[in-house]
Amino acid sequence: MSQKNTTVLTPILRIDFPHAERLGRGKIMLLEHIQETGSISAAGRAMDMSYRRAWLLVSALNRMFMQEAVESQRGGKQGGGAVLTPFGEELIRRFRAMEEKAEAALAAEMAWLEENRDPSAPPVKDPEPRS
């Protein structure tokens, strides 16, 4: 008798924009951490990424849309900081709503995949994408 793994498969939403821009859970999580901490640096640390990487992702987000998602202030005696704009807050809300809808819409197919996957199979690393 085969033993089923208790791991549940989860679909992951990623929106691909023209010119190789992407919006996925990583950027949304970064926005959520900025909202919680008021800092790009602290948000990056919470996600185990450098300030530069976090800043580049915020910069990319701000260029992807007609409105900025994050407003930042340079450091100094008062210290810097970052806040989400109303657009940034709405972006989080709508992305999370899309995730919920996608998961609900795919529930039956995901259950079928889970029922038919081999829990004893070793992990398979995806091949590197071609350039």
pLDDT tens digits, one per residue of 93-107: 999 999 999 999 999
User: What is the residue-wise DSSP string for 56-93?
Assistant: HHHHHHHHHSSS-SEEEE--SSS--EEEE-HHHHHHHH
Residue range of the domain that includes 73: 22-106
- CATH number of the domain at 49, please: 1.10.10.10
Q: What is the dihedral of CA 26, 31, 32, 34, to 10 degrees?
A: 130
Total domains in the chain come to 1
For residue 52, tell me if it sits in a domain.
yes
For residue 15, tell me if it sits in a domain.
no
For residue 84, tell me if it sits in a domain.
yes
Q: What is the pTM of this model?
A: 0.82
User: How far apart (Å, rounded) are the C-alpha atoms in residues 84 and 88?
Assistant: 5
pLDDT tens digits, one per residue of 29-51: 999 999 999 999 999 999 999 99
For residue 48, tell me if it sits in a domain.
yes
For residue 6, tell me if it sits in a domain.
no
